[in-house]
Amino acid sequence: MEEEQTVRELGHDEFDPNGTLALITVYFLILLAMWVFMYFVEFLGNELTVVG
């Protein structure tokens, strides 16, 4: 027996990307926290170091 599945078309105006916005925001906050750690903990108050 075949079951009929309802397919709903999602138009461009109905698309609301809250999940994508949340992921981008979380990713940006992680990058910001990493920058703050690198700047204030690793580099502030230390002299320049050359690696290589």
The per-residue pLDDT for 45 is: 67
| Torsion, CA 8, CA 12, CA 18, CA 19, rounded to 10 | 60
Q: What's the 3-state SS for the chain?
A: CCCCCCCCCCCHHHCCCHHHHHHHHHHHHHHHHHHHHHHHHHHCCCCCCCCC
Residues 5-47 pLDDT 10s = 888 887 777 777 888 899 999 999 999 999 988 887 777 766 6
Residue 49 has pLDDT above 90, yes or no: no
The closest alpha carbon to 21, from 29, 13, 10, belongs to 29
> Could you tell me the pTM of the whole model?
0.54
Dist. CA 29–CA 37, nearest whole Å: 12
The pLDDT confidence band at residue 48, using thresholds 50, 70 and 90, is low
The per-residue pLDDT for 26 is: 97
